[in-house]
Structure 1
Amino acid sequence: MEEITERCAGIKLSSREEAEVTIHETEPMDGLVLIGKFFTKRRINMEFVYRVLKMVWKMEKTFEASDLGENKVMFRFQKKDDLDRVLFLCPWSFDKYLLLLHKLERGEAVKDIKFNKSLFWVQIHGLPTMCQTKAVGLSIGETLGGVERVDANEKEFCLGNFIRIRVLIDISMPLCRGWKVRLGEQGLKWVDFKYERLPIFCYLCGRVDHDEQDCLQGLRSKEILRPEEKQLAHGFVRHRKNSKNR
């Protein structure tokens, strides 16, 4: 890529190519566009994708879907409430693989979208009951990514056996199985993370942007890894089974 850039930099433009084109201000987009990327090596069938998502998303109005290539799709909605609902219920999976959605803003180009972050609901297990507060959820969640929400009541307390947080996670990094948390006089404790609606992911390196068959770590390994050597062999499997896939 750098070599191509250097070559282009050395190209001398003709007089016609040096001419500037002035673009008059166009009508702004209505903001009802999502760009989706399917994290699967299989070529997606647009007709099948449209039919399944139309049934699963259960919208009031219909939507349009355009194939952008490289397993990327543009979804254009007719109603803002439908788009907001689809984003609110993220993450989505298709054929058990992650479907990452990005709301296209004015001035953005699809080629510049990185598709490296996804929202997940994460359950934090193992904390003392009285420590299950919104503040604790925020503190732990910020180590995972950007915290969008902590599921707490009006007194900022998390009812139940765990804290539930919604976090924007960098999917180019391995998922964390848990964290060490120091709780004042109670000392150091280990807390487990359980990811809701977790799609197919790689048990070797812990990333959700590919599966075990496409893992470079696995391909570079000369020997078949034993179960205990797999990054996520212990813990995450049962979390996926306990989650509902959309």
Structure 2
Amino acid sequence: MTESLLAKLGDLNFTAEEQDAVVVVLESVAIPAEDFACSLVGRVLSSGPLDGGRVARLFRTIWKDDKVQTITEINPNFFLIAFASSSNSDNILKRGPWDFQKHWFALEPADPACTIHGYAFRYMCIWVRIHNIPLSLMTEALARTLGACVGKVVITDTRLEDGNMGEFLRVRVSLDTTKPLRRCVTLSRSNAKAILCPLQYERIPIFCHGCGLIGHTDTYQGHLIE
């Protein structure tokens, strides 16, 4: 509703009275910024409104009542979540991505200066598995190099000793969800044939196989991990 109203206002000419700014002393009317220090905002990326009560009850159960103070739906599919401590909210961000009925529940730290329409919910942190790597190249260094082709590298997973990654390389990246999901990376080696390295995304929400973007209901299981 607010977005459509703002769009309509953009086509109008305003009177001098309408353009007079209302000057306020923020400290006198604003909720203290520290009240948001342990809070996140979240939006379930669904094409239609969901049952906000069910969303709140589910994540209260998953995230534990002693760590979650309130989950409030302040707009359809948009929630303000207050935690008992900043370590609780940080931990929830690190454990993502989260989903509700396979729809991505995007989360960001609450910004007291931002309106509910100012959050982009653009980046998703997710674990990616990179397959078909030669045994001699199963290293953390290559995981970082190839992971950077998918998104901003957050951390790599060295599951075995001596830097050996086992069957596949595994790296956690911050993924730009406005771009199609990448399906592979091509590994080029000097004096050797290039290798196609398929990607698998762990706990990936609904996405469209046609355009590769997250948020559509047309799912494809060919390179997902449930």
Q: Could you tell me the TM-score, scaled by structure 1's length?
A: 0.77
Q: Does 1:126 align with 2:129?
A: no
- Secondary structure (helix, strand or coil) at the match of 1:142 reads helix
Q: Which runs of 5+ in 2 are unaligned?
A: 1-5
Give the length in aligned residue pairs: 218
TM-score by length of 2: 0.84
Deviations 1:16-39 (A, max 9, x none): 935533334863324111111111
> After superposition, where does 1:1-246 map in structure 2 within 5 Å?
4-5=9-10, 7=12, 10-14=13-17, 17-18=20-21, 20-24=23-27, 27-30=32-35, 31-58=37-64, 60-152=66-158, 157-212=163-218, 237-240=221-224, 242-243=225-226
Provide the rounded CA distance (Å) in 2 between the counterparts of 1:62 and 1:51: 11
Alpha-carbon distance change, 18 to 80 in structure 1, aligned in 2, over 3 angstroms: closer
CA apart distance, 1:70: 3.6
Of Structure 1 and Structure 2, the greater strand share is in 2
Deviation at 1:187, TM superposition (A): 3.8
Question: Given that residues 145 and 170 in structure 1 are in contact (C-alpha distance below 8 angstroms), is that contact kept between their aligned partners in structure 2?
Answer: yes
The superposition leaves residues 184-219 of structure 1 with CA deviations (integer Å, 9 ceiling, x where unpaired) of: 34341110100001122212222112222xxxxxxx
CA shift for structure 1 position 139: 1.5
Contact persistence 2:149–2:185 (CA under 8 A): no
Where do 5+ consecutive residues of structure 1 fail to align? Answer: 213-231
Q: What RMSD, in angstroms, separates the aligned Cα atoms of the two structures?
A: 2.7
Sequence identity of aligned pairs in percent?
23
Please give the alpha-carbon distance, in whole angstroms, between the structure 1 residues aligned to 2:89 and 2:20.
41
- Return closer, same or farther for 1:202/1:154 CA change in 2, 3 Å cut-off: closer
Q: Secondary structure at the match of 2:61?
A: helix
Q: Distance in 2 between matches of 1:18 and 1:54?
A: 41
The CA distance in 2 between the partners of 1:62 and 1:19, in whole Å, is 36
Which residue in 1 is equivalent to 2:3? none
Query: Which is further off, 125-134 or 24-33?
Result: 24-33
